Chains A and B, each alone.
Chain A
Amino acid sequence: MLKIGKEQFNSRLFLGTGKYPDYDIQKKAVDVSETEVLTFSVRRMNIFDPDQPNFLEKIELNKYRFLPNTAGAKDAEEAVRIAKLANASGLCDMVKVEVIGCPKTLLPDPVETLKATEILLADGFTVLPYTSDDVVLARKLEELGAHAIMPGASPIGSGQGIINPLNLQFIIEQANVPVIVDAGIGSPKDAAYAMELGADGVLLNTAVSGARNPVQMAEAMKLAIEAGRLGYLAGRIDKKTYAVASSPEDGISVGG
């Protein structure tokens, strides 16, 4: 059971809701993923087209916890405003702090992320900051009181997978709050690897929504995260330089 703040989850897959081919496919993908946490962004409504469909209308709201992000914020002040707007919906207490500091790499701004996290914690939010894989920054976010730490595996939407497993391992080892690997996951292998490293969960979006078959990929990610988690709990063997036979070396029956 994964616990974040007051919330408890059976599923360790957090699923983004962006860029699916259509709502039907998205709904099926969400269903088979068995996720309990859906992320969203907050944007202006098109007031001249009130009948535009919205994914929230397609799902049973009480089946999920919503994790709005503050994507679009360039500093702490904007992130706090977006978080408060999301909270005023009455649909969520959690927020993913996301302050982008570089338009090309979409890497998070560490200083503004810290500031926003501090302000939102003081306001009573359940705060899950999206951060780089910087080990010291992750510790400082936890010291502020963040309810989970969400280090990126690689740049958002890049699908490059885990480019610095050592840093992730350090972040996971030192953390006393859940670590959710967020961003950059490309394939089920990456998700399983994150879980094998000891992550408490994985947040992904494009890896599913951009797959040739998003519904199939959603199931693959679910299974990969379960497999990675089980593997982590079971404890993998040490790596050795040379072969160690798995069949007995004596008692071999040789003719003559």
Chain B
Amino acid sequence: MGIIVNGESLELNQRIETVEDLLGHLQLKKKSLIVEHNQTILKMEQHDKAKVTEGDRFEIVHFVGGG
């Protein structure tokens, strides 16, 4: 299954059904982050419900230093 994360094309061979699975696969599960799924911003509690499908676009962002 091909998806796009932060502008990068990713080919997923593993079984990934939900955004939670995707974050686990990317080893980002324990991080403070925010996921936008096909331009819809997800709340934390939606991560294990949102389904990942072919061609989905994700933005995974976090807080960085700034003024």
Contacts and interface: CB of A to CB of B under 8 A. Distances in A.
A163 B34 CA distance: 38
A16 B63 CA distance: 12
Contacts of B12: none
B54 interface: no
A23 to B, nearest CB: 10
B65 A20 contact: yes
A45 B64 CA distance: 9
Interface string A61-77: 00000101101000000
A84 interface: yes
A187 interface: no
A56 B63 contact: yes
Given A45-B28, A45-B60, A50-B26, A19 B8 contact: no
A22 B8 CA distance: 29
A54 B43 contact: no
Contacts of A25: none
A20 B8 CA distance: 29
Given A42-B61, A47-B5, A16 B66 contact: yes
Contacts of A156: 67
Given A85-B36, A88-B41, A50 B66 contact: no
B5 A86 contact: no
Interface in A14-58: 16-20, 26, 39-45, 47, 50-51, 54-57
B41 to A, nearest CB: 5
B31 A45 contact: yes
Contacts of A45: 6, 28, 31, 33, 60-62
A85 B66 contact: no
Interface of A: 16-20, 26, 39-45, 47, 50-51, 54-57, 66, 68-69, 71, 84-86, 88-91, 156-157, 183, 203-206
25 contacts: A16-B65, A17-B65, A18-B67, A20-B65, A41-B63, A41-B64, A42-B64, A45-B62, A47-B8, A47-B26, A47-B60, A54-B64, A55-B63, A55-B64, A55-B65, A56-B32, A56-B62, A56-B63, A69-B66, A71-B66, A86-B63, A89-B63, A90-B44, A183-B67, A204-B67
